[in-house]
Amino acid sequence: MTKAIITKNVVKKYKQYSNQKERMLDLISPTSRGEDFYALNGVDFEADKGDVVGFIGINGSGKSTLSNIIAGIVPETSGEVQVNGQPALIAVAAGLNDDLTGRDNIELKCLMLGFSKDEIKELEPEIIEFAELENFIDQPVKSYSSGMKSRLGFAISVKVDPDILIIDEALSVGDRAFADKSLKKMMEFKDQGKTMIFVSHSIGQMKTFCDKILWLEFGRVKAFGEVKDVLPLYEAFLMKWQNMQKDERDIYRNKIMSKDPADNKYKNLGDLMVLDDDEELEASHTYSVRPVSRLAHLKAYTTYVYQSPNDDENKSDAQHLKNKVYYVKREATYQFENYYLLSTQPSGEDGVIGWIRGIETSSHVHTLVDNDKKIFYLTGRGFASSEPWGGKRQYVHESLEHHGGLIFDVNETILIGNNVWYQGVIEGESESVWIHSNNVVSDMEELNDDDDSNN
């Protein structure tokens, strides 16, 4: 596969000054002033020809810096950058000269990209039409709104037909209609097999548009891989980040930024590459399974049953599983969420159906009390089911109304949460059933007392 972009150990260092005076002194005095700040710190990244890669990361993680370096607009401090093809960057503030008119900017940008005057004459009306700037095209760009600038930048970049298109948050300004039109154009480019880099905070746009995701965190690559592998990890991280207090965020940021880039080691989890020292990230991609003993019913809104907790592709509708109770002998945590392995039998191997999100179930701990023989009498209330705490579809007797006073010959007692359930055989029947302890009494007299109090 031909590589369109390769970056190796790319570092971008800026100087940060506490005030303007320090900045001036740094320029004129031989002593170095200000503090070094690494916007990128050892970034290795490769895109194949035709890849559509989304750059994600919280503010200040280096997304724009890396896209500007790939576009050749900002030089790297050190490292290697190889771009095979003509890149074009679309960003709100990129490459437009504020003092020139829209038309002059079109000409300038096209000349810089090597177009002849005749070619530019041909392209110009198409660009103006795509940018929807009709009357403004001969006004200086400084009079444009950010949406208008972005439209002009987008129109020039797509009409010059670059090999590599880099779109930095350009769709987040301007109106919805233009964003849709731009997204359509980008889809066309994608279909043509062009390489694209897409920088956005919109998870939705990333999902619909990108194939792969590069997750940057304070200048380092945190993860790189397919959308389905990286985005859920990032979304889980964002939830954690949003719940952090400012001082917790500062500690986290300093910890990441103080690391030596030479220590950036990566581990491959299938096609996903993650930072080797990030155990939490690894744990949230893989999942840990623990033995457990629960019984579970599915809630009304239950969505899917998964083949494995970290596989969003292989899932099936869980609706048909409702109104039954299931055994849960395995529990897993994946990306801070609990999953249960549903089974029709009290086993983690036999009768297994699949994994379901814990919050989509009502479940209780299931414990054996004893297998002692006990004799009870049915009160005539409740139901009998083939499984303990059975659902409608597991009723043997939907109502025990006509069974009041019959003997219930019990051979197993269990606890489901705080509720006691008995397994046994009802007098005159052969099939074993489960009945809740509220619906039996241990001697006939209690039954008569019950009847008296009811009368």
Query: What residue type is assigned to position 358 of the chain?
Result: G
Of the pair 63, 220, the CB lying nearest ligand ATP is at 63
Q: What is the CA radius of gyration of the chain?
A: 33
User: Nearer to ligand ATP by C-beta: 63 or 297?
Assistant: 63
Q: Which of 251, 267, 158, 199 is nearest to 58 (CA)?
A: 199
Angstrom distance (rounded) from CA 274 to CA 380: 61
- Residue 423: strand, helix, or coil: strand
| CA atoms of 209 and 204, how far apart (whole Å) | 9
The least distance separating ligand ATP from the CB of residue 218, rounded to whole angstroms, comes to 8
How near is the Cβ of 84 to ligand ATP at its closest, in Å? Answer: 23
Sign, CA torsion 162/163/166/170: positive
Place of tokens 């320029």: 27
Binding residues for ligand ATP, per CB under 6 A? 14, 37, 39, 57, 59-65
Residue 141 Cβ, how far from ligand ATP at the closest point, in Å?
21
Placement of tokens 């890849």 in the chain: 51
Select 220 or 436, whichever has its Cβ closest to ligand ATP.
220
> Do the beta carbons of residue 412 and residue 368 sit within 8 Å?
yes
Q: How far is the CB of 238 from ligand ATP (least distance, A)?
A: 13
Considering the complex, state which of residue 7 and residue 65 has its C-beta at the smaller distance from ligand ATP: 65
Minimum CB distance to ligand ATP, residue 304 (Å): 32
- CA–CA distances in Å: residue 428 to residues 409, 425, 431, 432: 11, 8, 10, 11
- Where does residue 409 rank: exposed (0-12), middle (13-18), buried (19+ CB within 10 A)? middle
Q: Please say which residue, 24 or 369, places its beta carbon nearer to ligand ATP.
A: 24
Beta carbon nearer to ligand ATP, 37 or 241:
37
User: Are 227 and 234 in contact, with CB atoms under 8 Å apart?
Assistant: no
Whether residue 228 contacts residue 335, with contact meaning beta carbons closer than 8 Å, is answered with no
Strands (E), 28-160: 35-48, 52-56, 78-83, 87-91
| Of 59 and 135, CB closest to ligand ATP | 59
Please identify, using beta-carbon distances, which residue of 56 and 160 lies nearer to ligand ATP.
Answer: 56
The DSSP secondary-structure symbol of 94 reads S
Query: Between 61 and 363, whose beta carbon lies closer to ligand ATP?
Result: 61
CB of 126 to ligand ATP, least distance (A): 30
Whole-number Å distance between alpha carbons of 379 and 400: 8
CB of 32 to ligand ATP, least distance (A): 16
| Nearest CB to ligand ATP, comparing residues 60 and 147 | 60
Min. distance of Cβ 77 from ligand ATP in angstroms? 12
Residue type, 331: E
- The least CB distance from residue 37 to ligand ATP, in Å, is 6
At closest approach, how far in Å is the CB of 61 from ligand ATP?
A: 4
| DSSP assignment of 346-395 | SSSSTTEEEEEEGGGEEEEEEEEEE---EEEEE-S-S-EESSTT--GGGE
